[in-house]
Amino acid sequence: MNIELATTALKALAHETRLRVYRRLVQAGANGLCVADLATELGAEANGSFSFHLKELSNAGLIRSRQEGRFIYYSADYPAMNELLAYLTEHCCAGQSCGEQEHSCTIPENP
Amino acid sequence: MNIELATTALKALAHETRLRVYRRLVQAGANGLCVADLATELGAEANGSFSFHLKELSNAGLIRSRQEGRFIYYSADYPAMNELLAYLTEHCCAGQSCGEQEHSCTIPENP
DNA sequence: TTCATATTTATAGAATAGTCGAAATATCGT
DNA sequence: ACGATATTTCGACTATTCTATAAATATGAA
């Protein structure tokens, strides 16, 4: 992680729709959700704008996609967020260790 | 912390200059740094653009300023970043506790 | 008070991001 | 192959953010 990757990831998360999408995908676990379900759950429409936001998150490496039949499933890339948090925390702690205070994200069990 | 505050903070951090500024202020501790020193250390100029970025971080509640003589000192608002990290971690961990894995930011001793 | 330093504010222009609607691609079911 | 569904891509447009420059404000020093 470097400052360029960090700003890219932060930019991707710095939009309400995308932050909601990301959060929902994190909660969804490794399977993720297909676009239509994702949009429905967030009260959004699966249109070009929604697709644009998915691409932003995807380009930032925060989410991944896989085709499954007619549907495209998106899922959170947990390590990416962990790296971002680590980067922010590192600087947040002024180069000192936070002691026990690490963070990391667990992948929820498949529902 | 809610999604609106979170996106505001993320937007503020989602720019290389501002992320550098923020990081440097975190490292500087409670005293902070005055604008000219901050700019010099980052290889930037203390001009209107730099001031704009300081205002963005300030509006997002991530940094504070105080006047001291002719100089204006900026310093990191540690609790604000802790709240943001807590918010991200919470969602990152899909509503489950991270166990021991908390994070928080310590204010470095005054240099 | 007048001048110099430190920083912000204002205004306009340039660059980037976001939205909208239509057309394109991919896959499935018939 | 054809039609329906799911999603992306494209092009034009709008909105937001960033930069540059100059003028304004604040403080301290002479």
B7: in domain: yes
Domain with B7, as residue range(s), is 3-92
Closest approach of B36 to chain A, Cα-based (Å): 21
Residue A7 in this model has a pLDDT that exceeds 60: yes
Q: What is the pLDDT of residues A8-48, one digit of tens each?
A: 999 999 999 999 999 999 999 999 999 999 999 999 999 99
Integer Cα distance of A76 and A80 in angstroms: 9
Judge whether B54 and B74 are in contact, CB under 8 Å. yes
Report chain B (111 residues): mean pLDDT per 10 consecutive residues: 96 98 93 97 97 98 96 95 84 42 48 41
| Nearest-Cα residue of chain B relative to residue A29 | B94
Beta strand pairing status for A63-68 and A71-76?
antiparallel
Q: What is the pLDDT of residues B69-87, one digit of tens each?
A: 999 999 999 999 889 988 8
B14/A19 touch (CB, cutoff 8 Å), yes or no? no
Considering only CA atoms, which residue is closest to the C1' of nucleotide D29? B70
Q: Any CB–CB contact under 8 A between B94 and chain A?
A: yes
Q: What is the number of structural domains in chain A?
A: 1
B43 CA vs D8 C1’ separation (Å): 42
Residue A111 in this model has a pLDDT that exceeds 90: no
pLDDT at B63: 97
B81/A93 touch (CB, cutoff 8 Å), yes or no? no
A105: in domain: no
CATH code assigned at A67: 1.10.10.10
Closest approach of B71 to chain A, Cα-based (Å): 24
Average pLDDT over residues A55-62: 98
B81: in domain: yes
A78/B92 touch (CB, cutoff 8 Å), yes or no? yes
User: Which positions of strand C lie within 7 Å of protein CB atoms?
Assistant: 5-11, 17-23, 26-28
A109: in domain: no
